[in-house]
A and B are shown apart, each in its own frame.
Chain A
Amino acid sequence: MEKVKVKINNKELEVEKGTLILDAAKKAGVSIPTLCYHPDQEIKANCRVCAVEVDGMKNLPSACATVVCDGMVVRTNTPRVRSARKINIELLLSNHNMSCTTCIRNGNCELQKIAAELGIRENTFDNIMVLQDKDESSPSIVRNQNKCIKCGRCIQICANVQGLSILDYTGRGHTSEVKPAYGKYLNDVRCVACGQCSTVCPVAAITEKEDIERVWEAINDPKKHVVVQTAPAVRVSIGEEFGMEPGEIVTGKMVAALRALGFDAVFDTDFTADLTIIEEGHELLKRIREGGVLPMLTSCSPGWINFIEQYYPELLPHVSTCKSPQQMFGALAKGYYPEKIGKKPEDIFSVSVMPCTAKKYEAQRAEMRLDKKHQDVDAVLTTRELGRMLKQAGIEFSRLEEEEYDDPFGISTGAAVIFGATGGVMEAALRTVYEVATGKTLGSIDFTDVRGLKGIKEAAVELNGMKVKVMAAHSLSNANKVMEMIKSGDASDYTFIEIMCCPGGCIGGGGQPYGATDELRNKRISGIYKADKELPIRKSHENPAVKKLYEEFLIEPLGERSHQLLHTHYTNRKNGR
């Protein structure tokens, strides 16, 4: 690679040709503030906060959009640069609802951080914000126009990663805004509630809909027995909310923290992930045996279910009828657990902690209410919300002693943990389906072909002489490609396809801690596979608690009770939810 010499603030260094000033400066030990820039996205260069002075250039180029050239002299800390950055931030603040102390992003807002770094003490410009109502139509996401700084990150992730383009700029100049088409409410457009927009928003313009207060209320209600379940991906990311490393496995601390919050029983969604594998695995084998619709598509990711219901309803027969692990858990929590502990279903308040915003919508679905009235999962907290709740309660997460999950939904396997990463459901299914179908034990249970951040991954296994081809795709732009393959017949020799709505799978979910980049997603994924390796049991069908549940209650996979509790149906929602 060709090298070029650059000088940044009198420090000479050599960098590769084509390096951005921003990255060259980082090498020189200089950090340049950025706002619209995101390492995984196309360059937007619209906030103009990363302005730098370059000798020989008339204006101040943006460091995020300008490539260094040989002999370039860059200055990042001149009065002119400082003034320009400050003015641009002050301008943004002048059209921003500056309610920092009551803001959901207080403490982790990128605009707030830069304003602090630049030493802005008062805004020289009049605040000309015209307050607008929030869009709270979606059960998952809140859009607060009053906070928006028009950086366009949400637009890009929705268009480029999810392929949906729900949000875009509307209007022009000072009246331009980021909105759904025709200024419609989020719930009135074909938004899948994945919340990816909320993960990249630098401010509080798009956030999850908080359910914290409802959970506090239930915890403090002596009549309620409050149970909580934790999704696989949360254990490798909640630590980030407390300054721990991304991917660090903090399962035991998380259990202790939840107990400290006052939950009556702390359970693991991993348990129902194992259950999902049993049900889904048998469904797959049944479809293969009886000539059912193939390839079968997974159904764990609610953003993905929203996608197929709204965009490809004609392919719904391909989707497994299994509820997601969250909802299987919800059904057991209301349909099995109360009797076991001598309580009535209405006395149970069931909470889930999810890396996901679409789960909030899923929990509210009419199909997810055993008694047709009450939700099986009463409240869904995202990983970020759990972080906030723990802080509200003053729980020092990193200092907690590790604790164990409660019975009967506390035992799980490595196969369940890997649900949190793209390809994980597929791998878990293969581990079980192979052994159930062939009666043989797998030599190696690591199906590495379906792991990692590649958009669409493939693998093949031999099942009783039949070659079974499988696929795993993550993010909806890739899901879209797979749907087109199925429609055109190009996917006809595939038997089973896993689809996850979010990039990287659930570890990259819309409810996860801020700052997700591909680099960070990889760290969380490593955590997931490490957790899998460390568990004594790594195949769902070997989970003793699941076996016991079948013996005691469910009787058999795909049986009568399973049908009532663990399976669902889908609806053509092409014309909206």
Chain B
Amino acid sequence: MNRIEKKLLTKRFGIIDPMSIEDYLSLGGYAALQKALKTTPHAVVEEIKASGLRGRGGAAFPVGQKMEAVQKAKSGVKYIICNADEGEPGNFKDRYLMENDPHQIIEGMAISAYAVGAAKGYVFIRGEYSRSVYVMDNAIKAAKEKGFLGKNILGSGMDFDIEIYTGAGSYVCGEEFALMLCIEGNPARSTFKPPFPTAEGLYGKPTQINNVESFANLPHVIQDGAQEFAKIGTKHSKGTKLVSLCGNVREKGLYEVPFGVRLWEIIEELGRGVQGSIRMVQVGGASGPVLPPNMLGIKLDYKDFADNGMSLGSGAVIVIDTANEVLDIVRNTLEFFRHESCGKCTPCREGIVHLLIILDRFMLGEAEKKDLELLKTLIQAIEDTSICGLGQAAPTALKTAMRYFPEVFAAGIKKRSAKAI
């Protein structure tokens, strides 16, 4: 293990057989659930809150706070949803979690169910992840057989069942409202909020919807205690973060690091650098910012990112070397969002197409000076008025490219011939 790694969620990877619940149990599996069942739901929520754990899906909303809202919501029916629709290009952490240690996620969901009072849970798995579906399905069945799911779990009187639901490969299914509509049998299209899922979620009932990695953290918070958990990471970011490292680095793969490590450490120490030199790094996936090499000192930390006007996203690190051009990468990202837009709201549906049209003018060297301003205005409107996070984040790569690589855009502006002047 490298000096900057810290294995918590991945500590059983490669050691246990993901298809064997006995393996999981032999390494202390489901002890956290048993521990939780001995305390009150309120105490569980308090523990999670105290841990400072924040959602790992991208929005980084405090998990305990979300659970508290669902717990307090007055409703006979509540739901737990594990968002495993990992569609963000560059990300593969959820897939690794599901395929290497599925019970950790199930245990986290069961702990949540106990805390908020839900009897039914869904794992919404990206359609293309057939192996993940297979492993999770096996794990859910095994957990049911052993009494960790089902009726009267471990004699506690609590019922909780999990069902797997798969999407058909649409990126927007990862947006929580679209995801819930999808489970309800509707086309996946996002909608406005509030109300938030914690108040009116699946089938209009209070719903705790969290990312796979968030749920996988819960058994550790409960088992080790909030205090112990909070020792990992930084002041503002607690615990570890799974990093999907990919792109032009030598050692691509999934790494688990404590919050606070610097981007260059991840790239150089874990990924063993690139062959040539780095052009830029895109953090968080397609919806994340692109950073120039001189900014790689930034720490993996919610606050450090926020201070730089960015968000950490779901933790992908895509390294791009100088064999690739900035605008090609940006264009590719926008093309992705154009294709994946659900089409509901104007700015995302129509706006991204025009970002591409204008960007093409820069790429052909035919842009005019006013096109820079036009891009900025359009980006602002898309960010300001898109109905969901997909649209709001779609121009991020372009926006940060314009901020950090202005020379590339300047070069795309049509030069007037001497005659014309």
Contacts and interface: CB of A to CB of B under 8 A. Distances in A.
Most buried by A among B191, B194, B338, B353: B353
Interface in A137-171: 149-150, 169, 171
B378 A174 contact: no
Contact of B347 (A65, A87, A126): A87
A99 interface: no
Nearest to B172: A172
B17 interface: no
Contacts of A43: 192
Size class of the A contact interface (CB-based, 8 Å) = 35 or more
Contact of B192 (A65, A92, A124, A174): A65
Given A46-B346, A62-B192, A83-B380, A91 B351 contact: yes
Interface in B275-310: none
Interface stretch (B74-82, B88-96, B385-393, B404-412): B385-393
Given A84-B381, A91-B350, A173 B342 contact: yes
Nearest to A89: B346
B341 interface: yes
A428 to B, nearest CB: 43
Interface in A59-109: 59-62, 65-67, 80, 83-84, 87-88, 91-92, 94-95
Contacts of B343: 150, 169, 171-176
Contact of A91 (B189, B344, B354): B354
B328 interface: no
Given A173-B339, A173-B340, A45 B350 contact: no
Most buried by B among A47, A61, A169, A172: A172
Given A87-B377, A174-B349, A51 B385 contact: yes
Interface string B85-127: 0000000000000000000000000000000000000000000
Given A83-B381, A87-B377, A128-B357, A45 B342 contact: no
Interface string B372-399: 0010011011011111000010000000
A334 interface: no
Contacts of A171: 343
A146 to B, nearest CB: 15
Nearest to B370: A124
A242 interface: no
Contacts of B380: 80, 83-84
A48 interface: yes
A80 B384 contact: yes
A216 interface: no
B192 A87 contact: no
A172 B348 CA distance: 11
A99 B192 CA distance: 32
A373 to B, nearest CB: 47
B354 A48 contact: no
Interface string A106-140: 00000000000000000011101000000000000
A150 B349 CA distance: 10
A354 B11 CA distance: 75
A43 B192 CA distance: 9
B345 interface: yes
Contacts of B138: none
A169 B385 contact: no
Interface in A171-224: 171-176
Contacts of B189: 169
A92 B384 contact: no
Given A43-B192, A59-B392, A174 B350 contact: yes
Contact of B338 (A66, A80, A126, A174): A174
Contacts of A173: 338-343, 349
Contact of A124 (B340, B349, B374): B374
Contacts of B378: 87
A80 B380 CA distance: 8
A48 B385 contact: yes
Contacts of A48: 345-347, 385-387
Contacts of B338: 173-174
A47 B381 CA distance: 12
Given A59-B392, A62-B192, A65-B192, A83 B377 contact: yes
A125 B347 CA distance: 13
Dominant SS at the A interface?
loop
Contacts of B381: 83-84, 87-88
A45 B193 CA distance: 10
B147 interface: no
Nearest to A65: B192
Most buried by A among B189, B192, B347, B350: B350
Nearest to B352: A174
A227 B344 CA distance: 48
B65 interface: no
A328 B289 CA distance: 70
Given A43-B192, A171-B343, A84 B170 contact: no
Contacts of B349: 150, 173-174, 176
A247 to B, nearest CB: 35
Contacts of B357: 125-126, 128
B59 to A, nearest CB: 12
Contact of A59 (B191, B374, B377, B383): B383
B346 A92 contact: yes
Contact of B385 (A88, A94, A125, A175): A88
A51 B392 CA distance: 14
A519 to B, nearest CB: 25
Nearest to A69: B194
A95 B350 contact: yes
Given A48-B346, A84-B385, A172-B341, A126 B192 contact: no
A58 B384 CA distance: 8
A351 B127 CA distance: 58
Contacts of A125: 354, 357
B23 to A, nearest CB: 41
A45 B195 CA distance: 13
Given A65-B192, A173-B342, A46 B387 contact: yes
B204 interface: no
Contacts of B346: 46-49, 88, 91-92, 149
A150 B187 CA distance: 15
A87 B391 CA distance: 15
B189 to A, nearest CB: 7
A408 B175 CA distance: 66
B341 A59 contact: no
Contacts of A61: 192
A266 B228 CA distance: 90
A94 B352 CA distance: 12
Contacts of B187: 169
Nearest to A125: B354
Contacts of B350: 91-92, 94-95, 174
A150 B347 CA distance: 12
Given A67-B194, A87-B377, 12 more contacts: A46-B344, A49-B346, A51-B385, A59-B384, A59-B386, A83-B380, A87-B347, A92-B350, A128-B354, A172-B170, A174-B353, A175-B343
11 contacts: A45-B345, A60-B385, A62-B192, A62-B387, A80-B384, A84-B381, A87-B351, A87-B378, A125-B354, A126-B354, A176-B344
Interface of A: 43, 45-49, 51, 59-62, 65-67, 80, 83-84, 87-88, 91-92, 94-95, 124-126, 128, 149-150, 169, 171-176
Q: Which 10 A-B pairs have the closest CB atoms?
A: A176-B343, A173-B341, A91-B350, A87-B381, A48-B385, A60-B384, A45-B192, A65-B192, A84-B381, A173-B343
